[in-house]
Amino acid sequence: MAKAEHNNVTLGMVRDSLIRQEDTIVYSLIERARFPLNPPTYDPSYASIPGFSGSLLEFFVKQTEAVQAKAGRYDNPEEHPFFPDNLPPSLVPHYKYPEVLHPASMSININKLIWDMYFNKLLPSFVSPGDDGNYALTAARDLECLQAISRRIHYGKLVAEVKFRDERKDYEPAIRAQDRFTLTNLLTFTNVEEAVKKRVAKKAMTFGQEVKLGDDGDKGKYKVDPAIVSGLYADWVIPLTKEVEIDYLLRRLD
């Protein structure tokens, strides 16, 4: 059983955090869109780094995650590495994060899926084709997008915990029966999902407009297409958050 000392987390608080995380995701997409696709970043034959086989992107992500692991990033249960194997241990004093989640949540990490979605589906849809040589910056911006999206999706663990505590008698039978269908119905709020999709499109318009003095700027011209941002949420972010919620709930009574 998870310790219950942080029972005061409410669904409203968790949703406020999801709303704040939208800002980070939209900004990180805008920052990545400053660069074209830059294919050599992803081409294993381009990098040829001594002692490393893989793309510049993989090199960058593995090295960055190693440094961040040593600095304690993954001690925080909200953070999930993309390459969890062989990560070095934290070298800093352990901060005692509140134990809100069930311990089984530690085994849930769907970053492989997020990685494939980001590079195969999302990235080609919002950056221009082309190559400007800024491969290291490109890899850095990609990692920022990935980390922001991953944090949001894995936040589903906390959303699920709060929902479970609020409606324990409804969730328990479905968990005992390992009934994904009923769990999906219980945790789905279609009106909230619709509001999320509309809000992120509005944020993409607001944050991604050209700000000019003296006139209204380029109306209708945005740094990242708002429809792509709401599509990202509709097709990936919300469904994968729900996937994490279900994975978490299925193990909640272990």
Summarize as ranges the residues that interact with ligand PRE (CB under 6 A).
15, 18, 159, 187-189, 192-193, 196, 238, 241-242, 245
Q: Which residue, 12 or 89, has its beta carbon nearer to ligand PRE?
A: 12
User: In this complex, which beta carbon is closest to ligand PRE, that of residue 35 or of residue 248?
Assistant: 248
Q: Which is nearer to ligand PRE, 64 or 241 (CB)?
A: 241
Q: How far is the CB of 241 from ligand PRE (least distance, A)?
A: 4
Distance CA 192, CA 214 (A): 37
Ranked by CB distance to ligand PRE, the top (closest) residue is 241
Measuring CA to CA, which residue among 99, 103, 101, 72 is closest to residue 88?
72
Strand partners, 222: 209
Of the pair 46, 189, the CB lying nearest ligand PRE is at 189
CA distance 244 to 90: 26
Distance CA 23, CA 240 (A): 19
The whole-angstrom separation of Cα 202 and Cα 131 is: 30
Inter-helix orientation angle 135-154/156-166, to 10° = 10
CB of 240 to ligand PRE, least distance (A): 8
Pick between residue 196 and residue 204 the one whose CB is nearest to ligand PRE: 196
Q: Which helix (H) or strand (E) holds 230?
A: helix 226-232
Least Å from the CB of residue 148 to ligand PRE: 14
Q: How far apart are CA 164 and CA 186, in angstroms?
A: 10
Which region holds residue 213: left if phi is over 0, alpha if psi is between -120 and 50, else beta? beta
Minimum gap (Å) between residue 12 Cβ and ligand PRE: 10
For ligand PRE, the closer CB: 38 or 147: 147
- Residues 29/229, Cβ–Cβ less than 8 Å: yes
Least separation in angstroms between CB 122 and ligand PRE? 16
* Shortest Cβ 163–ligand PRE spacing (Å): 7
